[in-house]
Structure 1
Amino acid sequence: MTQNITEFSEKLDISEESLKQFIQDFDLDISACLSPKLNITQNFETFAIENQEFLKKYDKDLSEEKSITQIADKIDQPVEKVEEIIKNNVPNIYDNGLYRSSVSTFGIDRKLGGNYQFIYNYFGNKSELTQRDFVGYRDLFFYIYDMLEPFINPEQSKNWGIQKAAGIIVYGPPGSGKIFWAKKIAEMIDFEFFEIQKSKLKPTSSIDEKTTFDSYLSEMLKKDKIILFLENFDEIMMQKTENRIISNNNEEVQDCIFHNIEKFEKENLLMIGSARELAGIEPEIIAPGRFDVLIPIFPPNLHERAEMLLYNMTKNLSDDATLLKILKENKADQIPFWIETAEKMKVFSNTMIVDFTQSLKKRIRSSYLKNRTEQIIINQGILEASFKESAAKLTNDYLNNVQQFVLEATTNSYDRFANRIEDLKKELSTYKAKEKPTKPIGFKTDEA
């Protein structure tokens, strides 16, 4: 019998939030724990039932407020090490020095070398990257899961009066994967995904007829359980001001969405808008009951960049592929090889990482064709050349987009993504221009 995480948590008598936090604390692959439609996998069910006592201890610990000293004493670790991990991962703290319940003593112990091999025995020491449909982003996955709760668990509406969203805005810098997450949302709630083509946003030639978009939306409202994805949402739904003129096309699309948005929930239609930033969007469209669910899509962090580099270098390769043999020869079929390169890729988008791997593959192939040997060294020279090529998209406009994104994510979701936001701020600061020291005016003179 398939069970979603809510039903399973009730069966175990362990809070749903604890199960979600447990998956994150122990870096378990989402696909090893949950199916694409968010049901518990057989492996996770077996682990949880056989280790229910441990999960109850984890649940109890997670719900308790505790000080650094109490955590350090419990796991027999220096206070300084515990404090460093908490500051890096959980910046939010009560004034009285007791940490919020999202701090797990077990999670901290694992990061400091605690042995939890009994957990990984149920899932394998590591999941093949090529078997995953996405890398990292466990925190974002569960954040989105929470936002979609009314779709996943209809009982919320009956018990708590929480309504389904009519619209969602996924926002983030260019190349961060907004369309990927929109498709992931469709998969999570089992809706059919449609991307609105630009041709549907143009008005018809006749004044008497509906606009192309109006006709298109009317047809879509007749379907059941669909997601409509609208790119450039921030441009189309831009607020009209004295200094900002909105095109007739966009104005008609705005009017059409405003006119029909109340029908979305009734007709089981969810619209997802993709935006680089929220600033400038018509405030009425993000009012409650409209596009009031805002989901920040972050550039990957250091560890995710390393995983993505390996994933994209090995993606679609056969077991006897020449490139795979060369990667193995350099130990580049393992994540540690890519850490140094990932460290340099501060605030890189997903797209930039793909660009880097494509460039590197071509360079390795060129070297192979020239030397006709698999004994090719992937040295710093070849890595640096590919890095410079992929960094071409790291423009001032892009960095400004990231800066704006940091401000907006801080305003809307700091409590859920504090560590990501702080890490992104640090990475962004490395690109800030350093002020050159001013030279004194006049000539230098020797003092007698």
Structure 2
Amino acid sequence: MKITDLALELGVSTYSIKQFIEDFDLELSECLYPNMEVKDDFLRFARENRKFLLKYEKDLTEEKTCSQIAEQINQPVEKVEALIRKQKPNLFENGMYKSSVSSYGIDHDLGGNYKFVYDYFGNKTPLSQRDFIGYRDLFFYITDMLNPFIDEQQAKDWGIYKPAGIILYGPKGSGKIFWARKIAEIINYEFREVKNSYLGTSFINGKKADFNDFLTAMMKEKKVLLFLEDFHKIAKDRSPNQNQITENEDTKDIILHSIHRFVNEDLLMVVAADNLLGMDSEVFAPGRFDVKIPVFPPNQDERAQMILRYLTHHLEEDAVLMKILEYNEADHKPFWTEYSSKMKLFSNTMVIDFTQSVKKRLRNHYLKVKTHQFKIEKSLLEHSLIEAATKLTDEYLNSVQQFIFEVSANDYDAFTKRIEKLKHELETYKVVEMPRRQIGFHHN
């Protein structure tokens, strides 16, 4: 059953179901499949707790003040104000909250007892086996953008059509190719990566072919997602002093002149860009790449989950590494929270680099002591952290700053919490200029 069908059955909106999953910090892998079908445990919970979900939606859509929320959940108004200011700073000044703030969600964050919700789930899926970690907000944002693919009735009832092109933008190593594959999975399209060799002129079976021929061939196939990396290099605006047409410009022109035909041929092009700065404005014209999806570096909690996932992924139960982690109680997320807090602005790639370094260092130590019963020393983890941080260059930090500027301009309301956390983490890397000492004598 799709989430839209469940919403109709319960008499609530799909928005409130998604917001409920967000507010109660439920793992997506325990609630939904990537194609937005509802998993059995969540279906059972929703049907058996329909009255609660109806009350939750009613509260979500009602206008209310901090004082009213505090009175309803029996919490000090100061705590409620602090939480809303932290989570939704753009809404706090309004004073009245509607369709964004849930009294139940605030109560949950302030320690309210909602054990009846978690009794249905209980974190059954190990981190090492989950499709993805965290990113509920981004997943729901993407599925909203993909609704015309999921619900084809939208075109008939509302005139909302499928996009022909999508831009995934964000700092290097943040998982743009992962999300491109996830998009293909959600809409049930075949994922095809456009290799650099396809962009110029090539010879296939002795016949000369260019990128235009490649696109024409792809349009003849059924339900294909084409993924192209480094689009920020290809789609650059042409310099006024530039006389010759480069290969990148030729590729850009071919894409822009062909893309209007993609929708009718069930072809979707997803491109990845480190940033949107300096791109040709024609790229964003309606019917081209007018859907822009930000891809964020992981937050602190997601980094902790990722560390554990990449350390334990594909390990057998009796693996030596698993025994070492269990002996140190490092097979649970709390062990890694301290280190994830030090990984400010780390990309997915940097987190993976950290776990690979930890594995190698643990293996080397194990070969020396010949037993898995040894303490994982902090110095070992610190060295791995320093090693992984080598990619945290000025260029990368500047790209994060540009990303914050772009995503704030495009989607601040959708990703307020993520943007504010990114800003805060970026501040820790900014150099504070030492105050200059005045020349001359100083008197007390």
Per the TM superposition, whether the score is higher than 0.5 is yes
Following TM superposition, by how much is the alpha carbon of 1:94 offset from its aligned partner in structure 2, in angstroms? 6.6
The aligned counterpart of 2:213 is 215
For residues 179 and 246 of structure 1, the distance between their equivalents in structure 2, rounded to whole angstroms, comes to: 32
Helix, strand or coil for the counterpart of 1:194?
strand
For residues 318 and 195 of structure 2, the distance between their equivalents in structure 1, rounded to whole angstroms, comes to: 40
Q: Which runs of 5+ in 2 are unaligned?
A: none
Contact 2:226 2:269 survives alignment (8 Å): yes
Following TM superposition, by how much is the alpha carbon of 1:88 offset from its aligned partner in structure 2, in angstroms? 1.8
Following TM superposition, by how much is the alpha carbon of 1:401 offset from its aligned partner in structure 2, in angstroms? 0.5
Following TM superposition, by how much is the alpha carbon of 1:165 offset from its aligned partner in structure 2, in angstroms? 0.4
TM-score between both structures, scaled by the size of structure 2: 0.96
Q: 1:319 aligns with which of 317, 321, 324?
A: 317
The aligned counterpart of 2:129 is 131
Q: 2:58 aligns with which of 40, 57, 60?
A: 60
The aligned counterpart of 1:231 is 229
Helix, strand or coil for the counterpart of 2:216?
helix
Following TM superposition, by how much is the alpha carbon of 1:245 offset from its aligned partner in structure 2, in angstroms? 7.5
How many pairs were matched up?
442
Q: Please give the per-residue CA displacement for 1:86-107, whole angstroms capped at 9, x wherever unaligned.
A: 1221223275411232111111
Aligned AA (1:169): I
Following TM superposition, by how much is the alpha carbon of 1:440 offset from its aligned partner in structure 2, in angstroms? 2.1
Q: 1:182 aligns with which of 180, 184, 187?
A: 180
Q: 2:108 aligns with which of 101, 110, 123?
A: 110
Q: Percent identity?
A: 54
Evaluate the alpha carbon distance shift between residue 243 and residue 392 of structure 1 in structure 2; reply closer, same or farther with a 3 A threshold: farther
Evaluate the alpha carbon distance shift between residue 246 and residue 196 of structure 1 in structure 2; reply closer, same or farther with a 3 A threshold: farther
Moved more, 372-381 or 387-396: 372-381
Evaluate the alpha carbon distance shift between residue 142 and residue 245 of structure 1 in structure 2; reply closer, same or farther with a 3 A threshold: farther
Contact 1:26 1:110 survives alignment (8 Å): yes
1:156 is aligned to 2:154: yes
The 5-angstrom pairing of residues 62-101 of structure 1 reads 62-93=60-91, 96-101=94-99
Contact 2:146 2:187 survives alignment (8 Å): yes
The 5-angstrom pairing of residues 232-251 of structure 1 reads 232-242=230-240, 248-251=246-249
Following TM superposition, by how much is the alpha carbon of 1:243 offset from its aligned partner in structure 2, in angstroms? 5.3
Helix, strand or coil for the counterpart of 2:63?
coil
Following TM superposition, by how much is the alpha carbon of 1:328 offset from its aligned partner in structure 2, in angstroms? 1.2
Evaluate the alpha carbon distance shift between residue 252 and residue 71 of structure 1 in structure 2; reply closer, same or farther with a 3 A threshold: same
The aligned counterpart of 1:329 is 327
The aligned counterpart of 1:263 is 261
Q: Which runs of 5+ in 1 are unaligned?
A: none
For residues 401 and 122 of structure 2, the distance between their equivalents in structure 1, rounded to whole angstroms, comes to: 39
Following TM superposition, by how much is the alpha carbon of 1:403 offset from its aligned partner in structure 2, in angstroms? 0.3
For residues 130 and 243 of structure 2, the distance between their equivalents in structure 1, rounded to whole angstroms, comes to: 45
For residues 245 and 85 of structure 1, the distance between their equivalents in structure 2, rounded to whole angstroms, comes to: 56
Following TM superposition, by how much is the alpha carbon of 1:220 offset from its aligned partner in structure 2, in angstroms? 0.1
TM-score between both structures, scaled by the size of structure 1: 0.95
Helix, strand or coil for the counterpart of 2:155?
helix
Q: 1:6 aligns with which of 4, 7, 10?
A: 4
Following TM superposition, by how much is the alpha carbon of 1:19 offset from its aligned partner in structure 2, in angstroms? 0.4
The aligned counterpart of 1:435 is 433
Q: What's the Cα RMSD here?
A: 1.8
The aligned counterpart of 1:339 is 337
Q: Please give the per-residue CA displacement for 1:354-387, whole angstroms capped at 9, x wherever unaligned.
A: 0000001111111110111212211221111000
Following TM superposition, by how much is the alpha carbon of 1:272 offset from its aligned partner in structure 2, in angstroms? 0.4
For residues 362 and 376 of structure 1, the distance between their equivalents in structure 2, rounded to whole angstroms, comes to: 15
Following TM superposition, by how much is the alpha carbon of 1:155 offset from its aligned partner in structure 2, in angstroms? 0.9
